[in-house]
Amino acid sequence: MARLLVLRAAPYRHSSHLCAATLLVLSPSQHRHFASFPSPSPYAARRILPSPLRVPIRAVESSPGPTKEEQDPSPAASEAQEQLAPAAPAFEVEELGWGTQLAVKLRMLVAPPWQRVRKGSVLNMKLRGEISDQLKTRFSSGLSLPQICENFVKAAYDPRISGIYLHIEPLRCGWAKVDEIRRHIVDFKKSGKFVVGYMPVCGEKEYYLACACGELYAPPSAYVALFGLTVGQTFLRGVLEKVGIEPEIQRIGKYKSAGDQLARKSMSNEVREMLATLLDNIYGNWLETISSTLGKKKEEIEGFINSGVYQVARLKEEGWITDLLYDDEVMTLLKERVGQKDKKSLRMVDYSKYSRVSKQTLGLQGGGEQIAIIRASGSITRTRSPLSAPGSGIIAEQLIEKIRTVRESEKYKAVILRIDSPGGDALASDLMWREIRLLANSKPVVASMSDVAASGGYYMAMAAPVIVAEKLTLTGSIGVVTGKFCLQKFYERIDFNKEILSKGRYAELNAADQRPLRPDEAELFEKSAQNAYALFRDKAAMSRSMSVDQMEIVAQGRVWSGHDAFSRGLVDSVGGLSQALAIAKQKANIPKDKKIQLVEVSKPSPSLPEILSGIGGSLLGVDRAVKGVLQDMTTLSGVQARMDGILFENLGDMSGENQLLLLVKDIMNYFD
């Protein structure tokens, strides 16, 4: 008789889950202000101040081993560690009772056709490209992190699934999402089922994920691109000068680089220091995780990378992969593994179909207590624009409605606010901050950061009493950049004339681009930026129970990794969604071993525009980057709480064509 297994939670401590940067484009527009929210400084000693809203919590998920900073934390971190909540649960395997097994079998017999899976099937998932933190409908294109993770959990319980065949192709997501998936691979293997990885292109991010599989194969012709990581910025000042455009920038915060693309031709020393630190965090964690997985010293791993690996055979020779096999050979191997003796193809169920299998069918529906999860992904705007596609970003007026609905409902015992955003409209961020604060006054709220929660994204998170981030989440960025263009020389070159009639001393401050700012206008411009920065900094200090002086040390526009933000008080806990859920249960006084229902408040429903967009994108091959240009051109207005463009990637991850598209997107955003 087949056994049905359940994964049960048990506590564990440290985490080394990498979480990193995707491409984030800062787009200052003509006649607009750009504000952002930074992070802490290495020397900030944090003192927990009493607050009716914020409860100090420090908890870190499990990892291969503690880092030097975790072994020897700062005095402030040590003080806070004494007030820890239980750490997030790890998975243990437990056999279900016969009654539950019988109920599951009956549900499978009456399941609709789109949820039926043949016994002995292999779940085939292909991970490639962008991975959204939002749920997707069946008509949406691309992959969804929640559905990927849910598929791992369902497959672990499903007696019809023998194992998982994981195709890993080049990824364009941050390290946080990669870590969340990696965690689920490790947990799935505890069910006793196999995970076999197949990797035709081997880059750092892909290998970091793939090495968690029990077995890893690559074709003999696989591309090997293990060359290291880079961080870069682009600068447009030289281009602007050639066409006669003079940017007038007020940057508040020595680490705030949001205006540098316009105002500078090279990196400032402060930004170089900031980016170097972030790069060290990412690369150091990569080395640590790979060395722990392979059982090699970090020096061996780094030496292998620095030797210039380009032959896939070396990966096999030195124990990085299991063997060199083509896809059909791996599937033949899997047929033998699952005992399929017929001549038909391997029995498989793909990601899309398995995503439609109900958790209830497998007996995974939780108990009576409900915890809401509100997802907020993408750039922040206040209202929907005409070109906005469903799920294309955070629209404040819509998110506020959801927050109010959850606040007014008595059925939700706690709320997890899941954030994956580089920021956007500052006014919209503040309005959502207020609603999240009101929500936190009525029930426990935990903010869970994904790849990035910086600037406006951090503004939202800091409204929650508890913030959880992955180790390499990009966060902070508390600073302000104000800018406008002077087009005088440009207009002269093209023989264009512009005349303005005005009433009021400063009426032309944002309207007159045909001349430089007058001295009194420049003074007002600077004071306005200083005031905007002070408002953001002071609100961040109040939200995080810090003094203004303490927040000033960790602000000034600096972007931090989640781990560094944790040691400086901007983040309370290091971990993923499971960590946030464990804390939410504790704050809601729900026993840690009691099942709950995690209700997706932001769950999308298919709309006609989305269906047509998905079909059109599939048929016409419309590049998502081009769609992004049109989207951003219609959403950038007012004060911007947005993180600047930072790119952490392997040199081989982006084609020249995509780099050009992104540069064009940058330029079009600036001139919007």
**Catalytically active residues, by annotation:** 256, 455
Q: In this structure, what DSSP letter does residue 411 have?
A: S
**In contact, 452 and 421? CB cutoff 8 Å:** yes
- For 233, the token pair is 């910025």
**In contact, 200 and 170? CB cutoff 8 Å:** no
In single-letter form, the type of residue at position 668 comes to: M
Q: In this structure, what DSSP letter does residue 24 have?
A: B
Place of tokens 């005005």: 502
DSSP string covering 70-103: HHS--HHHHHHHTTPPPPPEEEEEEEPPHHHHHH
Calpha distance 644→254 (Å, rounded): 14
Q: Which run of H or of E encompasses 372?
A: strand 370-377
CB atoms within 10 A of CB 212: 23
Q: Which run of H or of E encompasses 548?
A: helix 548-554
Calpha distance 84→27 (Å, rounded): 40
Torsion of CA 72, 473, 253, 248, to 10 degrees: 160
Calpha distance 474→563 (Å, rounded): 10
**In contact, 94 and 8? CB cutoff 8 Å:** yes
Q: Supply the angle between the helices 145-157 and 175-189 in degrees, to the nearest 10.
A: 0
Q: What is the 3-state secondary structure (H, E, C) of 564-623?
A: HHHHCCCCCEECCHHHHHHHHHHHCCCCCCCCCEEEECCCCCCCHHHHHHHHHHHHHCCC
Calpha distance 435→17 (Å, rounded): 30
- For 29, the token pair is 């527009």
| Dihedral pair phi/psi, residue 303, rounded to 5° | -65, -40
Which of 543, 573, 120 is CA-nearest to residue 347?
A: 120
Calpha distance 91→183 (Å, rounded): 10
Place of tokens 């069946």: 138
Q: Is 532 helix (H, G, I), strand (E, B) or coil?
A: helix
Calpha distance 183→257 (Å, rounded): 33
Number of helical H runs and strand E runs in the chain: 24, 30
In single-letter form, the type of residue at position 195 comes to: V
Q: Is 313 helix (H, G, I), strand (E, B) or coil?
A: helix
Q: Partners of 92 in the beta sheet?
A: 8
Q: Partners of 143 in the beta sheet?
A: 131
Which of 642, 639, 635, 255 is CA-nearest to residue 456?
A: 642
Q: Which run of H or of E encompasses 660?
A: helix 656-670
